Structure 1
Amino acid sequence: MAESFLFCIAESLIAKLASWAYEETSMVLGAYKDLREFTRTLSYLKAVLLDADQKQEDNQELQEWLRQIKLVFSDAENVLEELEYENLRKKHGIDSNKIKVGQFFSNSNPIVIRHRIARKIKEIKNGLDRVAADRHKFGLKIIDVDGRVVHKREMTYSHVDSDVIGREHDKENIIKLLLLHGNDRTLSVIPIVGIGGLGKTTLAKLVFNDSRMDECFELKMWVCVSEGFDVKQLIVKIINSANDSSSADTPVHHQQKFKDLDIEQLQNRLRKKLRGQKFLLIFDDVWNGSRVEWVRMRDLIQVGAVGSKIVVTTRSHNIASMMGTLPSHILEGLSPEDSLSVFLKWAFKEGEEKKYPHLVNIGREIARKCGGVPLAVRTLGSLLFSKFDTNEWEYVRNNEIWNLPQISGDILPALKLSYDQMPFYLKQCFALFALYPKDYTFDSFDVTSLWGALGLLPSQKGNQILKNGANQYLYELLSISFIQDFVDYGIGFTFKMHYLVHELAKSVAFGDCLLTDYSLECMDSVARGVRHLSFRKDVLGGEFGVQRLSGVRTILFPIAGVGSHNKAFLDAFTTSCKHLRFLDLSDSTYETLPLSIGKLKHLRFLSLENNTKVKTLPDSICNLLKLEVLILIGCTQLETLPKGLRKLISLQHLEITTKLCVLPEDDIENLSSLKTLKIECCDNLESLFGGIKLPNLRALCVANCRSLKSLSLDSDHFPALETLLVDNCDMLKLAEVQEGRNSNSRLKVLTFVSLPQLVTLPLWLQGSMTTLQFLSISSCNSLVVLPEWLSAMNCLKTLCITDCPNVLSLPNDIHGLPTLERLEIHGCPESLGKSQLQVGESSHKP
């Protein structure tokens, strides 16, 4: 199924080839003609890829054709990456024009490199031509993105079985909302939100068919939206449903003729039908729709009697927010007991389960793996109906759901509807969740770093931090309920993924992503097309050849505390997998890295986090001109940093732990792309940033540097700094800065934690009067007073003061802050708690 990403890859390649930089370079290489022809062929193929993807399921020859295209595309991405690398070297003057005679035929000679790239471009162009020549024999049609076939859910209806299990409490909550506020003049809209298969429609049916609804509402209407929020179509559906509700004798032909009326005639009939009636309208299965369309629809139906209500079922939190006037009812999963009851209902005839107690025990485990989703329970129960062989039940229990037979209406097809509706750029990102184990707690930084390293994020503009565009993708997944348990911790957030959604990710990523326990000897069974490898445990074994996996782009150890300790593993992959983009060696125990690390030209992410053995790093790391993220945090034995850090011209995020007394600040100052810097557990470090400039730095974290005495943060040197965290630095005196300095600082987020020398807030913070939004001060025992000028922070939204026992009061006018939304005070004198109450009351006044 990973072949469905080919359309997105083709778009990305075409966009790159259209850039001025590639055109200019291709002329220098003498490959302009080849690249132009390659682009034209690529455009032809892109036009039919969507049709090919939809037809490939039962056509092995077409599947093989798509695999061939995938290989060519992968080669094309690699050669364009190499072209970018050489452009960077040339642009920044990193490669020397002086070539010794003995080096003339070396692979490092720019002339030899350009010749090799030109030859590769011609080979790839010829390869694509050969594959493209076969496209006609499959009868493929040109399909654009908007015209692609997206499998729709079947239309729903209002009838419901009387024996629905486990939704009585949810039903009563919704009915309570429908019966309350009976005199409100506003048309109330109650959204029900949850992932596919959770039972939103069933819950709406239970409510719709409850006898109390007949007593409360004169008119009940059920409309399945599903196919799109088209106002004219919805008007017809509402009128037809209203006719059904008001008269069972309404002839079908009378209903159908409404489709022939224009919008003016239809809206007149709709308003006439609803005017003065107290109605209940169910909008089931709403997927999309703009606010403009919804407001048009709402205004047309807002002619009913006082107390009319609408219930909306949707998978999208955005839709719920747009349409709802009351808080969304977030539908949770069934309890384990209810899940088992549903399972037994579908797996056995009534009462039959009593004959097979051993199967019931297996069924309990099967039901548990469904994560409380009724449709999943029904799917697996139905699969075992009238089957009493223990082996068959154990097979279902032991296999992943996506490996089991599925038919229309089962759980994975139901969830895949949400996946089908995703934009193509999000599909690739979602598939990479298959690299993580189930029940994993994700951190936004880890996930978005992976996406960025693989080139799946939108191009950054200006001084934008790497994470900004990526977080928008995560919010889109949150909106459609594909991620959950979302916790914002200020500079990022954590979240989880429902087991079944994770199963879907594994399904769509099959053949492209692999999470494995394999030893090196077992790796021969890994499919050649796998490009992203994730390991649950250390990879054991001796000598190992990875030539067959030379296309691997990701190496990941996602589980905390689990890393690589096998030198043969690292040597093999850094030598043979020259197209690695993401290399996570967290929790490893290497004392150094192989020199070959510097030949990974495409590498964008490298982490040695929490490696407590590494002492030195090869200087060849500084040849990684495309490296964007370098994490050395927790490397407590690291004695020195590689020489030539300034050559890392693409580096945006740097985290350092080292035994050095002085950081190579001249090199750091020349990291022109650096936007985030974290310095932690550098116990020998006494001063930072003595006059150096970091004009593009947006976020700075300094933590657990016990000897640090000075931290120079002059705004002239850090004009773009927005986020500052200083934590557990015993000797640091931040306030010792001349008044008037940093008057132009633009901080938005500021956190001070465990700073024993902090007596009051530093004067330079006054420069952020019009920008500071978040201020948190914690465990600062010497802090005595908060300055009066804090009351002038006219953008401050959050103020948190915790465990500061000597702060006796807040500034007098703190209650006047116009934007304050959250004030938290804990572990402080009682008098300060009283101020909290006063501020809390006044800050929420209109």
Structure 2
Amino acid sequence: MAESFIFSIAESLTAKLASRAYEEASRLVGVYDDLQDLKTSLSYVKAVLLDAEQKQEQNHELREWLKHIKLIFYDAENVLDQVDCETLRKQVIRDYRTSKDKVGRFFSSSNPLVFRYKLALQIKDIRMRLDRVAADRDKFGLQVIDVDRRVVHRREMTYSHVVESDVIGRDYDKEKIINLLMEPSLDNNAGSKHISVIPIVGIGGLGKTTLAKLVFNDERITDSFPLKMWVGVSEDFNIKQLIINIINAASNFVSTGALPGQQNLKELEVEQLQYRLRNMLEGQKFFLVLDDVWNEDRVKWVEMRDLISVGAQGSKVIVTTRSQSIASMMGTVAYSHHLESLSPEDSLRLFVRWAFKEGEEGKYPDLIRIGREIVDKCKGVPLAVRSLGSSLFSKHQIQEWESLRDKEIWNLPQKEDDILPALKLSYDEMPSHLRQCFALLSLYPKNHLFNSFDIASLWGAAGLLPLQSQDKTTVDVAHQYLSDLMARSFLYDVFDFGNLYAFRLHDLVHDLAVYVAKDVCQLVSSNTRGISENVLHLSFVENGLPSNSIKPSLRGVRSILFPVDNQGASEAFLDAWVLNCKYLRYLDLSDSTCETLPRSIGKLKHLRYISLQGNTRIKRLPNSICKLQNLQVLLLNGCSNLETIPKKLRKLISLQRLEITTKQSILPESDIAKLNCLEHLSVANCDNLESLFFETRLPTLRTLEVIDCAKLKSLPLDIHHFPQLETLVISGVDSEDCLDRSDDTNAVLKLKTIVLSEMVTLPLSLQQYARTLQTLVIAGCYELEVPPEWLWNLSSLKFLYIFDCPKLKSLSSDIHRLTSLQVLRILNCTELYRKYEPQVGECWHMISHIKHTDIRKTWE
């Protein structure tokens, strides 16, 4: 299915070849004429690719033709990337060369004459292969279509918290589940030890999780259960991880704040975790949701059930699952609650809500008639209805609606749990560039919590984001793409922090991502029987996988990542896999156990991203890492034993994001100051760090994070040091004296986002950003009782988030002065929830005018 975004690859190649910067680079390297010939061949093929994409489903020979072109394009991307690498290498040589280096280079393999000759041969080979394949284009009767006219019609941002009025057709189901939960005992199984388990069963996309959330947030449930916990389970029923998730869910709910040592739970043994879990639950009447259970191993479930059975009489558990056998195994009630499809009337109501602006549907009776026929094919599955409605949002041409209705994919035979044709159709309606980005989300396991910074890095390293401009950074573009996916209902549980999105994928959407990316992306586990010959992106989701061999065909791999916590790479893995992948662009070694990196890491000249975050064993990095002139992201946060940052960091001239944990007391300011592309800098858990950039000017920095640096005495915050700074994150700072306040109003930063975490008081100096600040996050301030007066002077504030501040008593009547405020989210703040609870709290009237409010007693 990777052929469904081949046009996007062609566009990217064409745009690169046509850019002035690349033309200059190709002249500098000496292959300008060769690349102009390649551009001509590429244009001839590109002209018919959009038509070929649309016709390939029913034409096997056409699909094979596109596969050949795709492989040629991959080789072309690698060759063009070599031009970039050589250009950056020359720039570093120009700036930092010595006479010794100059002599050594003439006799080395990097001799520019040798490089030019080899590269010209590669370009000629690609052009000849492309011309041979292009000669067959006419036999398919393809039309020339130069512009991808599939566009995204954007709607207003939606939020993850379930608003009951937005859910259609589930009132009966909700009341039935609540009635079961309110009954004193549902125990039909003496072995359950007072814990009643109610399964909600249904196929993917029916809304099992949505129904469970409606129940979870109902006031009657909150009043009846002193402790509520929500835990996503998904495919891996790992007992240790489940215990950790339940402890975290419980500690998020209780008013005492984070438990001592909560952040170190993963370092504890299972027996210690079990002891802590039993202590938390013993004698408590609790309500637990285990969302999306796939485990059919009864032994594991009995072990888990026995651990939580120390709760008080009347404790209840809801399990959502697609499997009736799982429901029978786990349930203790007489029957499971089988969630049915929506009725045709409710399906149409839901479809209309997503396809039209509010009240607009009355103008288009013909579209409503066609919409009813589309909805009939969705078989009452809300996710399908919502997704297709979103894909037609603001499209008012009858032909567009009829085209979607008449797609042949509806007629393909399908099993109950197959990928829904409706979702595939929504995917087909995406522009080609968006399809390619969506496909890479398949590299993460189900129920993964994504953040937009990491996704921007992945997409950027893969070359899926357009070249950076003065108006937009790559992160800006990534946020726009994620917003487009949200508009199509492909993302859920979305948190918008202004400069950062956090989100998840619905399981069925994840299945779709895996399906469309199957020739390009692969998740590797102990069940993996083989790896696709031309795979580009590999994700290792288990520890202990064999690493003693690698196929030569895998040397084209561009991404390797370990997305699951505490499942990082070993040194054996690095030697066997990573160092053989000469075109590697993205290397995520988070939580790895290697004590060092090999010097040969410097040969991976295509690398854009490398993460060692969470590696507590590594002490030093080879200086050869500074040969990676393409590197855009270097993450060393959580490397608590790292003694020093590599020398000559200044040579990483493309670096945009740098995150550091080190034992050094002084950072190499002279090196960091020369990183002229640096946009994001994080300094975290640097226990010895005393000062930060007294003299250094970082002209491109947009985000600065300073986290848990106990000895830090001062942080200069003025426009002379950080002229472009927009986002500031401060966490665990003991004294507000650390934050300088400028007396010069012309030197005040133009901050848009501030995140304050784990602080006793909120610095007075922050009021100087009142005119520009749009997002304020206050989190984990467990002793904070009264918000500062300056908070109500933030005239430009649009987003206010307050999390985990259990002693905060009131928001003050002055909140009405925040005239620009659009979103207020309060989570796990016991006192505030009591006073500002929607509709019933004594102070609700003070905030009821705010457009979007999300006030919850606990995290879900």
> Which band: TM-score by shorter chain?
0.5 to 0.7
Q: Which amino acid aligns with 1:13?
A: L
Moved more, 575-584 or 101-110: 101-110
Establish whether residue 205 from structure 1 lines up as the match of residue 240 from structure 2.
no
Establish whether residue 819 from structure 1 lines up as the match of residue 820 from structure 2.
yes
How do 1:747-762 and structure 2 match up within 5 A? 747-756=751-760, 758=761, 761-762=763-764
User: Partner residue of 2:440?
Assistant: 432
CA contact (8 A) 1:195 1:415 kept: no
Distance 1:810 1:60 in 2: 63
Establish whether residue 528 from structure 1 lines up as the match of residue 533 from structure 2.
yes
User: Partner residue of 1:477?
Assistant: 485
Partner residue of 1:659 out of 659, 663, 671: 663
Q: Secondary structure at 1:711's aligned position in 2?
A: coil
Partner residue of 1:538 out of 532, 543, 547: 543
User: Partner residue of 2:387?
Assistant: 315
User: Partner residue of 2:559?
Assistant: 554
Distance 1:46 1:432 in 2: 23
User: Partner residue of 1:11?
Assistant: 11
Q: Which amino acid aligns with 2:446?
A: K
1:642/1:755 CA distance change after superposition, 3 Å = same
Establish whether residue 128 from structure 1 lines up as the match of residue 163 from structure 2.
no
Distance 1:115 1:486 in 2: 51
Displacement after TM superposition at 1:469 (Å): 1.2
Deviations 1:40-60 (A, max 9, x none): 111111123344445555665
How do 1:381-780 and structure 2 match up within 5 A? 411-462=419-470, 464-489=472-497, 491-518=499-526, 525-541=530-546, 543-565=548-570, 567-730=571-734, 733-734=737-738, 737=741, 739-740=743-744, 743-756=747-760, 758=761, 761-763=763-765, 765-777=766-778
Displacement after TM superposition at 1:733 (Å): 2.2
Q: Secondary structure at 2:728's aligned position in 1?
A: strand
Distance 1:824 1:506 in 2: 33
Deviations 1:322-360 (A, max 9, x none): 699xxxxxxxxxxxxxxxxxxxxxxxxxxxxxxxxxxxx
Q: Which amino acid aligns with 1:564?
A: A
1:806/1:473 CA distance change after superposition, 3 Å = closer
Q: Which 5+ residue runs of structure 2 have no aligned equivalent? A: 151-166, 175-202, 209-338, 376-383, 397-409, 853-860
Moved more, 131-140 or 634-643: 131-140
Distance 1:574 1:439 in 2: 27
Distance 1:835 1:197 in 2: 37
CA contact (8 A) 1:612 1:636 kept: yes
Moved more, 687-696 or 675-684: 687-696
Q: Secondary structure at 2:624's aligned position in 1?
A: helix
Distance 1:801 1:125 in 2: 57
Establish whether residue 380 from structure 1 lines up as the match of residue 422 from structure 2.
no
Displacement after TM superposition at 1:683 (Å): 0.7
Distance 2:131 2:597 in 1: 41
Q: Which has the larger radius of gyration?
A: 1
Q: Secondary structure at 1:710's aligned position in 2?
A: coil
Distance 2:392 2:134 in 1: 45
TM-score for the superposition, normalised by structure 1 = 0.67
Establish whether residue 47 from structure 1 lines up as the match of residue 63 from structure 2.
no
CA contact (8 A) 2:591 2:614 kept: yes
Displacement after TM superposition at 1:681 (Å): 0.8
User: Partner residue of 1:371?
Assistant: none
Q: Secondary structure at 2:535's aligned position in 1?
A: coil
1:286/1:449 CA distance change after superposition, 3 Å = farther
How do 1:31-70 and structure 2 match up within 5 A? 31-56=31-56, 62-70=62-70
Moved more, 82-91 or 791-800: 791-800
Q: Which amino acid aligns with 1:83?
A: V
CA contact (8 A) 1:699 1:724 kept: yes
User: Partner residue of 1:142?
Assistant: 144
Distance 2:392 2:91 in 1: 49
Deviations 1:815-843 (A, max 9, x none): 43422456688578999999977854788
Partner residue of 1:118 out of 120, 142, 150: 120
Deviations 1:273-305 (A, max 9, x none): xxxxxxx98954789xxxxxxxxxxxxxxxxxx
CA contact (8 A) 2:717 2:739 kept: no
CA contact (8 A) 1:790 1:811 kept: no
TM-score for the superposition, normalised by structure 2 = 0.66
Deviations 1:17-67 (A, max 9, x none): 111233334344443332222111111111233444455556655444333
Q: Secondary structure at 1:452's aligned position in 2?
A: helix
1:802/1:19 CA distance change after superposition, 3 Å = closer
Q: Which amino acid aligns with 2:44?
A: Y
Displacement after TM superposition at 1:115 (Å): 3.0
Distance 2:148 2:739 in 1: 58
User: Partner residue of 1:80?
Assistant: 80
Displacement after TM superposition at 1:708 (Å): 1.7
Displacement after TM superposition at 1:625 (Å): 1.4
How many residue pairs get matched? 645
Distance 1:693 1:835 in 2: 49
Distance 2:125 2:810 in 1: 74
User: Partner residue of 1:358?
Assistant: none
Q: Which amino acid aligns with 1:471?
A: H
Displacement after TM superposition at 1:453 (Å): 1.1
1:642/1:47 CA distance change after superposition, 3 Å = same
CA contact (8 A) 1:589 1:611 kept: yes
How do 1:357-368 and structure 2 match up within 5 A? none
Q: Secondary structure at 1:534's aligned position in 2?
A: strand
Displacement after TM superposition at 1:589 (Å): 0.7
Q: Secondary structure at 2:565's aligned position in 1?
A: coil
Identity %: 47
Distance 1:196 1:376 in 2: 20
Distance 1:801 1:25 in 2: 49
Displacement after TM superposition at 1:631 (Å): 0.9
CA contact (8 A) 2:795 2:817 kept: no
CA contact (8 A) 2:491 2:504 kept: yes
Q: Which amino acid aligns with 1:44?
A: Y
Q: Secondary structure at 1:677's aligned position in 2?
A: strand
Moved more, 489-498 or 50-59: 50-59
CA contact (8 A) 2:680 2:704 kept: yes
Q: Which amino acid aligns with 1:429?
A: C
User: Partner residue of 1:24?
Assistant: 24
Q: Secondary structure at 1:128's aligned position in 2?
A: helix
Displacement after TM superposition at 1:470 (Å): 0.8
Distance 2:582 2:395 in 1: 50
CA contact (8 A) 2:718 2:748 kept: no
Distance 1:495 1:801 in 2: 18
Q: Secondary structure at 1:485's aligned position in 2?
A: strand
CA contact (8 A) 1:711 1:732 kept: no
Distance 2:39 2:98 in 1: 32
Displacement after TM superposition at 1:321 (Å): 8.0
User: Partner residue of 1:389?
Assistant: none
How do 1:257-406 and structure 2 match up within 5 A? 283-284=371-372, 315=387, 379-380=414-415
Structure scoring higher RCO (CA < 8 A, sep ≥ 6) equals 2
